[in-house]
Amino acid sequence: MMRIITFGTFDMFHIGHLNIIERARALGDYLIVGVSADQLNFKKKNRFPICRQEDRLKIIRALKAVDEVFIEESLEQKADYIKQFRADCLVMGDDWRGRFDHFQDICDVIYLPRTPSISTTELIEVVRSQQF
């Protein structure tokens, strides 16, 4: 039984998000997803997500590939979350490559390639530039 954990904001849920969640799940038998809190995002990116955390959590929980969800309150608690949820493996997109290597003493760490040409930021830019 291999338990996988991954983290993300998953704002304006898109195909890149679905791809990494499905690929993470395929690496094991049970997938736990930490959804970043609104406050955590504000601290990290200086803006709140478009979609609120309860809604983002609800979307992630509804996915077939996801077994368990929780709100990630702070980046500093990652090791605690990994232990608390008894994860064997941490999976992240390769925009995070190298950043979580220090967790290798408590679990495997795998970076998966991002889906090209889509991101929440690009979606916001596309919508912003449309003339209606």
**List of residues contacting ligand C2G (CB under 6 A):** 7-11, 16-17, 20, 36, 72, 75, 92-93, 95, 114-115, 118-119
Both structure tokens of 29: 């038998």
State the nearest-atom distance from the C-beta of 93 to ligand C2G, in Å: 2
- Amino acid identity of residue 124, one-letter, is I
State the nearest-atom distance from the C-beta of 131 to ligand C2G, in Å: 26
State the nearest-atom distance from the C-beta of 109 to ligand C2G, in Å: 12
C-beta neighbour count of 87 within 10 angstroms: 24
Is the distance from CB of 6 to CB of 21 less than 8 angstroms? yes
- Cβ closest to ligand C2G, residue 36 vs residue 53: 36
Is the distance from CB of 8 to CB of 112 less than 8 angstroms? no
